[in-house]
A and B are shown apart, each in its own frame.
Chain A
Amino acid sequence: MKRAAGIAVLLALGCGCGGDGGGVTLRFWAMGREGEVVRELLPDFERENPGVRVEVQQIPWTAAHEKLLTAHVGEATPDVAQLGNTWLSEFVALDAIAPLDARVAESATVDPADHFPGIWDTNVIGDRLYGVPWYVDTRVLFYRSDLLAAAGHPDPPADWEEWRAAMRDVVAAGGGARRYGILLPLNEWPPTVILGLQAGSPLLDVERGYGAFAQPEFRRAFDFYLGLFRDGLAPPVSNNEIANLYQEFARGTFAMYITGPWNLGEFQRRLPAELQDAWATAPLPGPEPGVPGVSLAGGSSLVIFKDSPHADAAWKLVEFLSRPQQQARFYELTGDLPAHKTAWELTGIAADPRARAFRTQLDHVVSTPKLPEWEQIATRVYERGETAVRGAATPQEALEALDRDVARMLEKRRWLAEKGRRP
């Protein structure tokens, strides 16, 4: 009966046979796979909210950023959108998205206490909240448990010293084979940045508008990072030089890799069957013994655009998608890790030992600096890092050059601050 009634409502809405007066059409932009499957959740929402129809536009990730920005300039922004949470600061700088503090304060569904604090914090810019985490993402250690065990490390490393020792022993146990402890691709910024954050570096002095890379905290992390290459524990290659990551991991060319939840499925699919018991995940080691290492606070948030004429209906959609049951369904459809802790219980992901590493790590995640220039700065981090790895610059020279690059990129922010305009 219920279903029949639902279908009737759907038909009535679907045909849109003119003159349904108060009907609201919410425009919702979502990216990639999420945009594809979120449609399956929406009939329930439309049933609950007669008169509200959601029009999902799926945008490929590669074009999403440009499309959103041009939409803002062209005054054609949607009502609700999925934003990578590192993009938020940019849209705040554009004054394109609406603060949500008041709505969250009144909401029965969106409970900050049920979110991971580090992830929640990425949505707070200045001191206002601009997004509600939809799904989360961080990076942990993927490792060959068989190789580590054979090298005398049955448990994953817990701190930097153990980490380095495990790499050394894995390489030594490999005999003459071409083997490395870890793969840290030279064209990726997360490894370097994570180590820096772990060592307590703020990366940037956001207030003053300068880089903090040449300061002791980051330098310590950078020395640890460079040491891995110098001692032959990590191969000095970029991702493009690794023809097939999964194949090399299966071969044991490298025993560890820092990566994200999307690789849980990929490793299962792409590693040969006989290796399925030979890999595991672990939270990242930290610099000091007994202190968990931090990782990146990633994922996507739901935001409401300022220009939306249907902000109330849009908020209803955000609340709907935030419900633990919907989060659980969404996890089953996409494999994206839910933002709500309750949804972790509902789905039973926490019981999966490989996902558990993510659950543990998510309690220790830190946001990257929240300013629009961050993405460009991140690119510089690995470019300058590569010069030090390859010996074209000393560590100190590379970091000072990085700080100079950053100082140039943030010149506009400093000027705006001087003028008293909030960047």
Chain B
Amino acid sequence: MKSTLTKRSPLEKRQMRAALWFLAPALLLLLVFFFLPVVAGLLLGLTDFDIYAIGSPGNARFVGLENYARLLTNDVFWRSLGNTLFFVALGGPLSVAVSLGAAMLVDAKLTRLRPLFRTIYFAPVVTTLVSVAIIWRYLYHPRYGLLNHVLGLVGVGPIDWLGDPHWAMPAIVLLAVWKNFGYNMLIFVAGLQAVPAELYEAAAIDGAGGWQRFRHITLPGLAPTFLFVGVTTMIGYFQVFAEPYVMTQGGPLGSTRSVVLFMYEEGFRWWRIGTASATAVVLLLITLAGALLQFRLQKERT
């Protein structure tokens, strides 16, 4: 065995080379569209690249960590971070719970026409957000919207969903959860099908009720799925952009401005590319910390 590891036969060498050639296109794409931009972003975050520098790059200056220092004293950034954390904290768990619920319904033995339901629930995921947002803007309309109409039937006064700073973010969360839960649902369905049916049968024979089976079989059985879904959802939700951009442009009163929207405005509205790049790095660090925390929690459980 050892000899084969240290000394490679010509055949193996040829195979290695072939493997490299097969990997090359993907690696090249990663290099050009991922690693280079990341490095460029890191470097730009240390400069004051702005509108004057777009005209002539010589007008950019190296400013060290000043962009970061300014970011930490910028109210708008903190507000955006707060909004984003709210979105993640409310939308993340809600989205996972709804996905799991939908997955269990779709996967239940009693359910007929499963593929149909799966398709229906998945449809929002593949619909373009802009068209969805237009419909939802109607749903949220304070006077003519369906949502307020239904609430009115049970005696809840009209809510200006997208115009009231207190309600705008919850409204965006609702839209995002509805738009995205189908994707996680499919993953949960796959996870559920991997849980051996004998366990449920054995538990049923032992007299376990529905809740106990869910608590002691389904949840532990889905642990790896949970980790995956949790991490991807969290990363995705930290990067929330399109929903507020299309629905509210960050308003009212900046109550739906997310970190990515802040970054977009800094970069493409004010052309402070330096600050925008620094924001990107900060967001990366936060997301990374969140992901590590989840891994850690999951490890402690198992």
Provide the residues of chain B in CB contact with A62, threshold 8 Å.
249
* Minimum distance in angstroms from B140 CB to a CB of chain A: 15
**Is A263's beta carbon under 8 Å from chain B?**
no
Does B209 touch A at the CB level, under 8 Å? no
Interface contact B160-A243, CB-CB below 8 Å: yes
Are B55 and A93 in contact, with the CB atoms below 8 A?
A: yes
Residues of A within 8 A of B52 (CB): 93, 412-413, 416, 423
Interface stretch (choices A67-75, A215-223, A360-368):
A67-75
In the complex the two chains form, is A372's CB within 8 Å of B51's CB? Answer: yes
Q: Given known contacts A66-B269, A69-B268, A69-B271, is B252 in contact with A412 (CB within 8 Å)?
A: no
How many angstroms from the CA of A95 to the CA of B165 in the assembled complex? 39
Q: With the chains together, A372 CA to B268 CA distance in Å?
A: 14
Contact at A70–B51, with CB atoms within 8 Å? no
Q: Assess whether B16 is interfacial by the CB under 8 Å rule.
A: no
Residues 52-72 of B, flagged 1 when their CB comes within 8 A of A and 0 if not, give: 101110010100000000000
Task: State which residues 113-159 of A face B: CB under 8 Å.
Answer: none
- With A69-B271, A238-B253: A421-B165 Cβ-Cβ less than 8 Å: no
- Quick one: which of A240, A376, A413 contacts B165, CB cutoff 8 A? A240
B-contact 0/1 string along A231-255, CB 8 Å cutoff:
0000000101001000000000000
Contacts of B268 in A (CB 8 A): 66, 69-70
- Name which residue of chain A comes closest to B264, CB basis: A66
CB distance from B13 to the nearest CB of A (A): 44
Q: Give the Cβ gap from A212 to chain B, nearest Cβ, in Å.
A: 22
Interface size on B, residues (CB 8 A): 20
A72 adjacent to B54 (CB under 8 Å): yes
Q: How far is the CA of A95 from the CA of B55 in the complex (A)?
A: 6
Interface contact B51-A90, CB-CB below 8 Å: yes
Q: Is B191's CB within 8 Å of the partner chain A?
A: no
Q: Report if B270 contacts A (CB, 8 A).
A: yes
Bits for A381-415, please: 1 = Cβ < 8 Å to B, else 0: 00000000000000000000000000000001101
Chain A positions within 8 Å of B56 at CB level: 421
**Cα distance A372–B55 when bound, in Å?**
13
A residues less than 8 Å from B252 (CB atoms): 240
Does B107 sit within 8 A of A, measured CB to CB? no
Judged by a CB distance under 8 angstroms, whether B48 is at the interface is: yes
Instruction: With CB as the reference atom, state the residue of chain A lying closest to B163.
Output: A240
Q: What size tier do the contact residues of chain A reach?
A: 20 to 34
- Which A residues lie within 8 Å of B160 (CB)? 243
Question: What are the interface flags for B169-194 relative to A under an 8 Å C-beta threshold, 1 for contact and 0 otherwise?
Answer: 00000000000000000000000000
Q: Does B243 contact A (CB under 8 A)?
A: no
Among B61, B249, B269, chain A packs the most CB atoms within 10 A around the CB of B269
Query: Within the assembled complex, what's the spacing in Å between the Cα atoms of A72 and B55?
Result: 10
Q: Does A103 contact B (CB under 8 A)?
A: no
Q: How far is the CB of B270 from chain A (nearest CB, A)?
A: 6
B242 CB to nearest A CB, Å? 13
- A417–B182 Cα gap in the complex (Å)? 56
Do A73 and B54 contact each other (CB < 8 Å), given the known contacts A240-B165, A240-B252, A416-B59?
Answer: yes
The listed residue (B48, B61, B249, B253) touching A240 by CB distance below 8 A is B253
Output the least CB separation between A409 and chain B (Å).
10
- Chain A residues with CB under 8 Å of B253's CB are 187, 238, 240
Contacts of B55 in A (CB 8 A): 93-95
B54→A376 contact, CB < 8 A: no
B residues in contact with A94, CB < 8 Å: 51, 54-55
Across-interface contacts of A415 in B (CB, < 8 A): 61
Determine how close the nearest CB of chain B comes to the CB of A364; give it in whole angstroms. Answer: 31
Interface residue ranges of A48-70 to B (CB < 8 Å): 62, 65-66, 69-70
Return chain B residues, CB-CB under 8 Å to A69.
Answer: 268, 271
Instruction: Provide the bound-state CA to CA distance between A93 and B268, in Å.
Output: 16
Instruction: Report A67-109 residues with CB < 8 Å from chain B CB.
Output: 69-70, 72-73, 90, 93-95
Nearest A residue to B48 by beta-carbon distance?
A: A412
Interface string of B148-171 (1 = CB under 8 A from A): 000000000000100101000000
| Complex CA–CA separation, A421 to B53 (angstroms) | 12
Q: How far is the CB of B60 from chain A (nearest CB, A)?
A: 10
Cross-chain contact B269 with A412 (CB below 8 angstroms): no
A421 to B61, CA, bound (A): 14
Which chain B residue lies CB-closest to A243? B160
* Complex Cα spacing A243 to B164, Å: 10
Q: How far is the CB of A38 from chain B (nearest CB, A)?
A: 24
Contact yes or no, A93 B51, CB < 8 A: yes
Query: Smallest CB–CB gap between B198 and chain A, Å?
Result: 57
Complex alpha-carbon distance, A372 and B249, angstroms: 22
Write the nearest CB–CB distance from B257 to chain A, whole angstroms: 13
Which residues from 259 to 282 on chain B have a C-beta closer than 8 Å to any C-beta of chain A? 268-271
Residues of chain A contacted by B249 (CB below 8 angstroms): 62
A240 proximity list for chain B (CB < 8 A):
163, 165, 251-253
Q: Which residue of A lies closest to B271 (CB)?
A: A69
Nearest CB of A to B274, in Å = 11
A184 to chain B, nearest CB (A): 17
CA A238 to CA B249, docked complex, whole Å? 18
User: With A and B bound together, what is the CA distance between A72 and B271 in angstroms?
Assistant: 12
Chain A to chain B: the 5 pairs with minimum beta-carbon distance, closest first? A66-B268, A240-B252, A95-B55, A94-B55, A372-B51
A-B contact pairs, 25 of them (CB 8 A): A65-B269, A66-B268, A66-B269, A70-B268, A72-B54, A90-B51, A93-B52, A93-B55, A94-B51, A94-B54, A95-B55, A187-B253, A240-B163, A240-B165, A240-B252, A240-B253, A243-B160, A376-B270, A412-B48, A412-B50, A412-B59, A413-B52, A416-B52, A421-B56, A421-B59
**19 other contacts beyond A69-B271, A93-B55, A240-B253, with CB at 8 A cut-off?**
A62-B249, A66-B268, A66-B269, A72-B54, A94-B51, A94-B54, A187-B253, A240-B165, A240-B251, A240-B252, A412-B48, A412-B50, A412-B52, A413-B52, A415-B61, A416-B52, A416-B59, A421-B59, A423-B52
